[in-house]
Structure 1
Amino acid sequence: MKICIACGMPMKNREDFAMRDEEKDYCAFCARPDGTMQSYEEKLESMTGFIVKTQGFDNHAACHLAKGMLAKLPAWKNE
C-alpha cells in the first residue's frame, strides 16, 4: 500500500490514486483536474479547510496544524 507523498493518505484502491493511475505517488485529493499534483499553497489551503470543517478549529489554528502535518511529508521537504 502506498501513502500519498503530499497529504499522507493511504492509497489502497485504484480510485484513491490521481487519475486512477497506480504509478502516481499522490492521491486523487492532491491532484488537479489535469492530473498534476497541487502546489504547496493549494494543498495548504485545502488541508486547512478540511481541518476547519472536520475538527472545528478556527482558520488560524487549522493553518498552523496543516503546516505541521505537511512539513512531515516527502513532497514538501523544501517548503
Structure 2
Amino acid sequence: MKICIACGMPMEKVSDFPGGDETKDYCIYCARPDGTMQSFEEKKVGMVEFTMKSQGFNESAALKITLTSMKKLPAWKCYFQG
C-alpha cells in the first residue's frame, strides 16, 4: 500500500490514484483534473478548507494544523527547510 506524498492518505484501491495510475505517488485528492499533482498553494488551500469543514476549526487554526501536517509530508519538505 502506498501513502500519498502530498496529503498522507493511504492509497489502497486503484480508484485512489489519479486516472487509476498506480505508479503515481499522490492520490486522486491531490491531483488536478489533468492528473498532475497540485501545487503547494493549491494543496494548502484545499487542506485548510477540508479542516475547517470536517473539524469545525476557524481559518487561522485550520491553517496552523495544515502547515504542521504538510511539514511532515515528502512532497512539501522543501518548503519548510531553512
Quick check: TM above 0.5? yes
Q: Deviations over 1:7-56 (max 9, x none)?
A: 00000000001111000000000000000000000000000000000000
Structure 1 residues without counterparts, runs of 5 or longer:
none
Q: Quote the Cα distance in structure 1 between the aligned partners of 2:69 and 2:29.
A: 16
Identity %: 58
RMSD: 0.4
Per the alignment, residue 16 of structure 1 pairs with: 16
4+ runs deviating over 3 angstroms: none
Q: Quote the Cα distance in structure 1 between the aligned partners of 2:73 and 2:30.
A: 13
SS in 1 for 2:51: helix
Q: Quote the Cα distance in structure 2 between the aligned partners of 1:42 and 1:50.
A: 12
Q: Quote the Cα distance in structure 2 between the aligned partners of 1:59 and 1:19.
A: 31
Q: Quote the Cα distance in structure 2 between the aligned partners of 1:18 and 1:71.
A: 23
Structure 2 residues without counterparts, runs of 5 or longer:
none
* Matches for 1:1-79 after TM superposition, within 5 Å: 1-79=1-79
Q: Quote the Cα distance in structure 1 between the aligned partners of 2:77 and 2:62.
A: 20
How many positions carry a matched residue from both structures?
79
TM-score w.r.t. length of structure 2: 0.95
